[in-house]
Structure 1
Amino acid sequence: MSQLLPIPRAPKNPTRPWTYDTNSGGPLDFDKTIYKTLMSTSRSLHKLVNKFEIPIRTGQAWEVKQGQICRILTVGGPQVGDLNLWNLHDPRERMWAAKTRQLQRSHISTFDRIWSTLPFLRPIVTILGDTLADYGIDEDSGRCHDLLGTRCDPYVNRLLTGQDFDFSCHSNLVRAVMPYKLTEFDVHDVLNVFQITGLNSDDRYFMKSCPAREGDYFEFFAEIDLLCALSTCPGGDLSQPLWGPGSEDADKNPLDVCNPLGVEVYDVDKKYLEGWKPPISPKYGGNHGITLKKWNN
């Protein structure tokens, strides 16, 4: 009996692909005038209020107040960083990687915004600067600053290798936010800063070596008061696989490709923020479509 081949299925009502429109005055569009001014002004015109380095294979949390600028930069060479964001005063509101992928794109850059979780749903940061913005799309369809994947964690590491490893990005972030009384349950899907990723021809997630050089940076404007946490990925620049084919090469050690990351926070002169308005949540009326009966005596 001959083998039957699957019959290609065509949609009953084929349509053109569509996306959420972030331009042309739609609900996702916003006035970029103030942001363009902030991008073009020298950081020396603003006040540096916090500066530190995060050593390799560790994490750190810090605060960025509404209206401040935060810069993440490579200080010793290429290095991937896993970033989490929360509302400083209510950690139930935090960055929503999946919705940001949907409303913005899977790899974000200048003028993209990171959105928060329901029921808040508002932009909590706007990207101001990205020295890797010209990386574009490479020959493997790889792009930079990834929202497709998530943080490395000790549970998957145990699953794939049978070994415990306590310096994954998940673990680093957990330790970083402990002083703020947050736990493992508060750590969430990340923005992989400086990381090149994509989907291959089999629709499988891939990672590539980080192209950043010393002095490259990724910078954002805080739309609300933020608690930020960043892990310096134990894979460093990801040129050496942490597991799978190639990870056992004796002449390669991921520690050799790990570098610290720097963080700078700036107070913005108020004259540059004239006309800026804090983000607001959609004015949804509640009840999620359920009409409740009135109480009758």
Structure 2
Amino acid sequence: MKRARNEVTEPQDAEARRRIRPVICYPVDTLPRPDIAAYRAAREGWKKVSEVVVPPRDARCFQVPAGSFFRIVSIEGPQVGDLNLWSAQDIGERFFSGKTRALHGTHLSTGDQLWSNLPHLRPMATITHDTLDWYGFDEYGGSVHDVIGTRCDPYTHKLLSGHEYHHCCHSNLTRALAQRLGRPKEEVEPAVHDVLNVFMCTGFTRDTGQYFMKASPVRPGDYLEFFAEIDLLGALSACPGGDCSTEHSSDLAACHPLLVEIYRPKAPPLGWTSPPRNGYSRRHED
């Protein structure tokens, strides 16, 4: 259904205005790029040091030291995960999905980086392997691992349905973070932020520009792999929408657990150093 629009008369030069070529907002020619070959070489002889199983319709926290790898793995069936990342030393530094989207696009894959919020603005993690990279963009404009959605939350659910639902990803992440930090849920909730929608297949409709989802192409054995650029605290929610083929938050959708695996390499990638916080002076001068 199209959105209602005011009745207006098109100007005579309407088509000329539409034909103006777009300009990329953030040209990334000068953006430092990770050496993916060096990262992959560092995996040789690595050791799996821990793992965390994330139950369906719930979330769990995990920690990854800088210079280590972690994977989010599908283990039983098609399942979407909502990922939050913080600096392990300061949860005020957290994943900035909006700036990540501006730098890398609407959907992420191998070689893209997850950036932290202002004033920190540095890479938190680098995607080093994606078994769903083959999917690309489909005929509807859909792709996987998006940074365009927020996270399913109980506030929007209440607004649209009138009902309370406590296993939305926002609530799951809030409970997990509160438990990990030993702090009240209402105190840590503001630190829960817009996510990387791992394995989720999404896009925008061409007629109304609405955010859509469709059945995820993920299957058991698929994974998304990251390299931790800084010491990370992560939280992953196994979305109550399952593969998000029909509903965003539901006790009826088929849901499955997800697995987080953490690997320590024998040595860091050749030439790698953990990135410092952004060098802007913060003077904000007139």
Whether TM exceeds 0.5 here: the answer is yes
Q: Which residue of 2 aligns with 1:194?
A: 199
For 2:282 and 2:269, the matched residues in 1 are separated by 33
**Structure 1 residue 18, shift from structure 2 partner:** 2.3
The structure 2 residue matched to 1:264, chosen from 256, 261, 264, is 261
What is the DSSP-based 3-state SS (H/G/I as helix, E as strand, rest coil) of the residue aligned with 2:48?
strand
Q: Which residue of 1 aligns with 2:33?
A: 29
**Structure 1 residue 9, shift from structure 2 partner:** 7.0
| Amino acid of the structure 2 residue aligned with 1:264 | E
Instruction: Indicate if the aligned counterparts of 2:60 and 2:237 stay in contact, CA closer than 8 A.
Output: yes
Alignment length (residue pairs): 272
Q: Pairwise mapping of residues 70-89 of structure 1 onto structure 2 (< 5 A)?
A: 70-89=70-89
Q: Greater shift after overlay, 47-56 or 87-96?
A: 47-56
Query: Which has the higher Rg, Structure 1 or Structure 2?
Result: 1
The structure 2 residue matched to 1:235, chosen from 232, 241, 256, is 241
Identity of aligned residues (%): 44
For 2:62 and 2:107, the matched residues in 1 are separated by 24
Deviation string for 1:170-229 (max 9, x for gaps)? Answer: 000000000313611110000000000001111111001111111100010000000000
Instruction: Indicate if the aligned counterparts of 1:144 and 1:197 stay in contact, CA closer than 8 A.
Output: yes
Deviation string for 1:138-193 (max 9, x for gaps)? Answer: 11110000100011011111111111101100000000000313611110000000
Instruction: Indicate if the aligned counterparts of 2:41 and 2:269 stay in contact, CA closer than 8 A.
Output: no
Q: Which residue of 2 aligns with 1:278?
A: 274
| Change in 2 beyond 3 A, CA 1:184/1:27 | same
| Change in 2 beyond 3 A, CA 1:242/1:91 | closer
Q: Which residue of 2 aligns with 1:20?
A: 26
What is the TM-score normalised by the length of structure 1?
0.86
Q: Which residue of 2 aligns with 1:213?
A: 219
What is the DSSP-based 3-state SS (H/G/I as helix, E as strand, rest coil) of the residue aligned with 1:34?
helix
Instruction: Indicate if the aligned counterparts of 1:240 and 1:254 stay in contact, CA closer than 8 A.
Output: no
**Structure 1 residue 238, shift from structure 2 partner:** 1.1
**Structure 1 residue 51, shift from structure 2 partner:** 1.2
RMSD between aligned alpha carbons? Answer: 2.1
| Change in 2 beyond 3 A, CA 1:288/1:57 | same
What is the DSSP-based 3-state SS (H/G/I as helix, E as strand, rest coil) of the residue aligned with 2:85?
strand
The structure 1 residue matched to 2:284, chosen from 285, 288, 297, is 288
For 1:171 and 1:191, the matched residues in 2 are separated by 16
| Change in 2 beyond 3 A, CA 1:57/1:149 | same
What is the TM-score normalised by the length of structure 2?
0.89
**Structure 1 residue 287, shift from structure 2 partner:** 1.7
For 2:191 and 2:224, the matched residues in 1 are separated by 24
